[in-house]
Structure 1
Amino acid sequence: MSEPAALIIGDDGLARPSWAASDELLRNYYDTEWGMPVRDEHGVFERLSLEAFQSGLSWATILRKRPAFRDAFAQFDPEKVAAFDESDVTRLMADAAIVRNNAKIRAAIKNAQATIRLRDSGGLAEFVWSFQPSRTPRPKTPQDVPTRSPESEALAVALRKQGFGFVGPTTMFALMEAIGIVDTHLLGSHRRGSSGVWPA
């Protein structure tokens, strides 16, 4: 039995990995957002929060629920989320439109508070981007794409020391992929090198 194609050419003639080739929501996310640089506190906090909620689930599930997450978490405004209390935890646990996981909800609040504290030392975005590696993977197939790296392991440790939760090395590598710190677009994908951070 032959291996499935690493890249699929869409009706538009563009090459994408299989995960982004069929579902319209995932394809749009891949084409316009995934891997593009995010360097502001709000943007990094939202994506860090969503990556934590994604742990153990599919990204498609989180992406479909993102509008509801934004509504439930005050558009991921760190100051507003940092002020959430037990009544908010109760409200969120009753919200069927999001992922109702007590530990992840509490981690999002804790992480908002840690994000506020990081402002005194450059801020969350600068902190996360300081773990950018000197080179990025150059995967030819999905099997070539790593799920963690020395930098994501170091970032996970450093964030935990700052009081963050649900920031394991695999989750942090996914964050680094999502916000452009590394480029794991497959060689030959129409998105390879599109972030401007790394050459194609």
Structure 2
Amino acid sequence: MTSKKRPTWAEQNDKMREYYDHYWGFPLHNDHQLFELFSLEIFQAGLSWNGVWQKRAALRRAFADFQINRVAAMDHDDFLRLMRNRSIIRNQRKILATIHNAQAAQQIKRQRRIGFAEYCWQLVDNIPQPSPVGEGEDLPPQTVLSKRVSQQLHRDGFSGVGPVVAMSFLCASGMIDVRQQKNSKKC
């Protein structure tokens, strides 16, 4: 049996190995999957991806499986319920950003008649962008592209997405081609 060569961050535990082998850097084109990943990346800000990924199932339950319409409909009572939920990351700004971003995604759909996935891929000209570094080099926390994407997201009403979160989202969703980065650090 041949073992896969994974970067150090992906060797922390079985969940991280599974994430690297089956999720990280593979292009996503589904509204639901992209919104979930987008939201999880916001929850990661200031935390480890391992910790967020460990709470993925609880976050899915708490946020109606990240169904955009259901999250967008969450109200103050839902917010209070989420703030009391000990199984998730109870950060007020991140919870509010997730609800707000679902509403922003709905607004994009109404105004532009495109789904969240199509909107996201338009941010990178509808093709995976080349990695900003060579094989074995560490990915930077942000790039010119992630700054541009973050600014556009803010202009379009999204919150909680600075250039570092945008970079992580772009890498994880396959919008930046990181699968060639055999030993790179997670964006």
Structure 1 runs not aligned, ≥5 long: 1-10, 190-200
**Match in the other structure for 1:79:** 69
Q: C-alpha deviations, 1:100-143, integer Å up to 9, x for none?
A: 0111111111000001111131222122212326532343335x
Structure 1: distance between partners of 2:7 and 2:29: 26
Structure 1: distance between partners of 2:181 and 2:81: 44
What is the root-mean-square deviation of aligned Cα atoms in Å? 1.7
**Match in the other structure for 1:160:** 154
Percent identity between the two aligned chains: 38
* Preserved CA contact (<8 Å) 2:129 2:175: no
Q: Which amino acid aligns with 1:182?
A: I
**Match in the other structure for 1:129:** 121
For residues 179-190 of structure 1, the aligned pairs below 5 Å read 179-185=173-179, 187-188=181-182
For residues 169-188 of structure 1, the aligned pairs below 5 Å read 169-185=163-179, 187-188=181-182
Q: In the comparison of the two structures, how many residue pairs are matched?
A: 178
* Preserved CA contact (<8 Å) 2:7 2:182: no
Deviation of residue 148 (structure 1)?
1.3
* Preserved CA contact (<8 Å) 2:63 2:71: yes
Scaled by the length of structure 1, the TM-score of the pair is 0.83
Deviation of residue 22 (structure 1)?
4.0
Q: Which of the pair has more CA radius of gyration?
A: 1
Q: Give yes or no for the alignment of 1:116 onto 2:106.
A: yes
Tell me which of 4, 7, 13 is aligned to 1:14: 4
- Do the aligned partners of residues 76 and 141 (structure 1) sit closer, same or farther apart at CA in structure 2, a change above 3 Å counting? same
**Match in the other structure for 1:34:** 24
* Preserved CA contact (<8 Å) 1:153 1:169: yes
Q: Which amino acid aligns with 1:139?
A: G
Deviation of residue 188 (structure 1)?
4.6
- Do the aligned partners of residues 81 and 187 (structure 1) sit closer, same or farther apart at CA in structure 2, a change above 3 Å counting? closer
